[in-house]
A = this chain, B = another copy of it.
Amino acid sequence: MTQVLIVYASDYGGTKKMAEAVAEGVRSVSDCTAVLKEAEQASSEDLLASDALVLGSPVHMGAPDWRVKKFIDTVCSGAWMKDRVVGKVGAVFACGSGYGGAGGGCELTMLAMLNNIAELGLIIVPLPKSTPGYKIAGLQWGPYARAHDIDLNPVGVSDEQVEASRHHGANIARTATLLKGRNPFAG
């Protein structure tokens, strides 16, 4: 059984809805299970017991929510120090208002989470442009849901954004299954 841990923070439910879609995608792959945790509930045990880590966050001022960062600082950094998750799989997603039409800082937000993923020594799963839903909900680093219109009114996470998130979850689960028990960093 391949286990994928999804850690997220959510203010109004948009990132949570994406996290659930990622989990659904994971579970759609045979012999794969998803563990969904809010950032403040996720533990070191959750991380160590999983084959993949997916981080999801609202976009706040061009970087992840402080609760996601607290999880990184207080849980992930210990695993980094002792090289405990090297060779597993990692990925990210984000949700934001996207004010301005260019993602409102979602790219650096995803990179801030990916920097942690890379430091942990996780193999990174991006989001190919051929993913269903991508043309509304895509960035090369992972699915992105713009959950507000151009005047900052909330419009929620759309079907395409759910679809891209679900495919992302399945992609991650398949990659983790292919690499499980076969750490490519172990010579």
Contacts and interface: CB of A to CB of B under 8 A. Distances in A.
A111 to B, nearest CB: 6
A83 B135 contact: no
A175 B120 CA distance: 16
A134 interface: yes
A61 B129 CA distance: 12
A136 B77 CA distance: 20
Contacts of A128: 83, 86-87, 120-121, 185
Contacts of A135: 99-101, 150-151
A141 interface: yes
Q: How many copies does the complex hold?
A: 4
Chain A contact residues: helix, strand, loop or mixed: mixed
A123 B175 contact: yes
Interface string A97-127: 0111111111110011001111111111111
A171 B144 contact: no
Given A123-B126, A178-B184, 20 more contacts: A60-B73, A61-B80, A61-B115, A62-B116, A62-B119, A86-B128, A86-B130, A100-B129, A100-B139, A101-B146, A102-B144, A104-B139, A108-B112, A112-B112, A119-B126, A121-B127, A135-B150, A135-B151, A136-B150, A175-B179
Interface of A: 60-67, 69-70, 72-74, 76-77, 80, 83, 86-87, 98-108, 111-112, 115-131, 134-141, 144, 146, 150-151, 167, 170-171, 174-175, 178-179, 182, 184-185, 187
